[in-house]
Amino acid sequence: MEHKLYLYSKKKGNIMATLDLRQTVLEYIKNKADGKFLRLVDAMAKTYQEELDQERISIEQYNKEIDESIAQINRGEFYTQEEMEKMAKEW
């Protein structure tokens, strides 16, 4: 299987790299993939699609959530690394 390296600095270059990558993956699936690999790709594709289907928040909502988080930190409403490690051990 031939591998190609691309720099993704331009949109047009990204399209070409995606086409080459798609061809490489399809050739691998056609000629070498076993059931385990195919189940992995299937699960990954489903998860990816679910993420795409989720609605993105607006930049305004994003900034609001960031501001709220900063306010919580300023009020001392956070856990230290040590506290989190202790809590994680109890899970």
**pLDDT recorded at residue 3:** 53
Tokens, residue 47: 């998860």
Mean pLDDT of 19-25: 89
Beta-carbon contacts of 39 under 8 Å, excluding residues fewer than 6 positions away, are none
Q: What is the pLDDT of residue 18?
A: 84
Predicted model pTM:
0.43
d(CA 81, CA 56): 30
In this predicted model, what pLDDT tens digit does every residue of 52-90 receive, in sequence order? 888 888 899 999 999 999 999 999 999 999 999 999 999
Token pair for residue 75? 């009020």
